[in-house]
Amino acid sequence: MRRSTVSSAAAVLALTLLPGVSPTTAGAAPPGDRPFPSRIELPDGFQPEGIALGPGPTAWFGSRVDGDIYEVSLRTGEGTVISQGPGTPSVGMKSDRQGRLFVAGGTSGTARVVDTETGDVLLDQALTTGTSFVNDVVLTRGAAWFTDSSKAQLYRLDREPGGAPAAAVTTVPLTGEWVQGTGFGANGISTTPTGRALLVVNSTTGLLYRVDPATGEATEVDLGGASLTAGDGMLRHGRTLYVVRNRLNEIAVIELSPTGRSGRLVRTITAGDLDPSTSFDVPTTVARFGSHLYLPNARFSTPPTPTTDYWVTKVRARAGD
């Protein structure tokens, strides 16, 4: 259900003005309202997919229904819609330090850039035409890179020296060892630890690829036989790569070589690692704040309605150690 946007401090102040109400009893926060809650409620019927975070304990989520952008305080769990969507999906997202949110547009074939302070759309850029699913995005110094799950290609949206988007798009076909297969192809995207190449997961084949951003040549990353089927959003923290395996309700934790040409599965975060107050229900993407990961639950297996519950799950980044 939808959480109230009234802060607990304001509620206590209001209650002290009522006769016979003690601020001590009225202000006692229930376990679910402790700072940095383990479960954060999203608006009913929101249908989340992507998450972007920070700097600071602020996160943004995109709706698959209409593209609305919802801002949440990780400290309190309270949130509000800061930008009305265009009526098409908001899927993978990344934010920069200047308060710009880069949003993959799913079936619209577009990328949007949103000012998180004002909610204004700074850029609404077509990346491709025809059937497409622009799924995820990663930011590098000179560009925002988007995957397309329907086509064996990436899209480079140029960024100016200060990080602002430029209306210049380059389509980079995936070549080399890339195997598109049937079903969803390229999904989550990240960078290698050196930052010199891209990492892209194929959801259907379960293979992870290192991609040369200059040529699009893809080389399979040697994972020692580990599979990443159902691989969705990815997050790299140093040499650790977190890969969300959506319908398996787990996170694969990969320790990468510096070049990203190889890696090994070091642990898997599952529902057993969660706080008892929360759960996974088809998590899709992941962001990290401090020692915790945050994942929106898309609930793909649950028929969506305007009153369907959606939430964000917090889990320790080193769960399972």
Say which range, 32-46, 50-64, 101-115, 297-311, has the weakest mean pLDDT: 32-46
What number does CATH give the domain 35-316?
2.120.10.30
Cis peptide preceding 55, ω within 30 of 0: yes
Q: What percentage of the chain exceeds 70 in pLDDT?
A: 89
pLDDT of residue 18: 32
> Does residue 10 surpass a pLDDT of 90?
no
User: Are the CB atoms for 245 and 187 separated by under 8 Å?
Assistant: no
120, with CB counted inside 10 A (0-12, 13-18, 19+), is exposed
pLDDT > 90? residue 19: no
CB 211 within 8 A of CB 197: yes
Give ∠ CA 224-287-170 in degrees, rounded to 5: 80
Q: Which residues contact 319 (CB under 8 A, 6 or more apart)?
A: 267, 269, 273, 274
Give just the sign of the alpha carbon dihedral 302, 303, 308, 312: positive
Mean pLDDT score, 279-301: 97
**Tens digit of each residue's pLDDT (9 = 90 or more) over 239-281:** 999 999 999 999 999 999 999 999 999 999 998 899 898 999 9
State the chain's mean pLDDT as an integer. 90
Q: Are 85 and 67 in contact (CB under 8 A)?
A: yes
Collapsing DSSP to helix, strand or coil, 309 comes out as coil
According to DSSP, the residues that pair with 222 across neighbouring strands are: 262
Q: Which residues pair with 227 in a beta bridge?
A: none
Q: pTM to 2 decimals?
A: 0.88
Please report, for the chain, the start and end positions of each structural domain, with discontinuous segments joined by +.
35-316
pLDDT band per the 50, 70, 90 thresholds, residue 181: confident
Question: Higher confidence at residue 182 or residue 145?
Answer: 145
In the structure, what pLDDT confidence band is assigned to residue 8 with cuts at 50, 70 and 90?
very low
DSSP codes, 118-138: T--EEEEEE---SS--EEEEE
The answer to whether the CB of 229 falls within 8 A of the CB of 203 is: yes
Above 70 in pLDDT, residue 120?
Answer: yes
So what's the pLDDT on residue 318?
A: 84
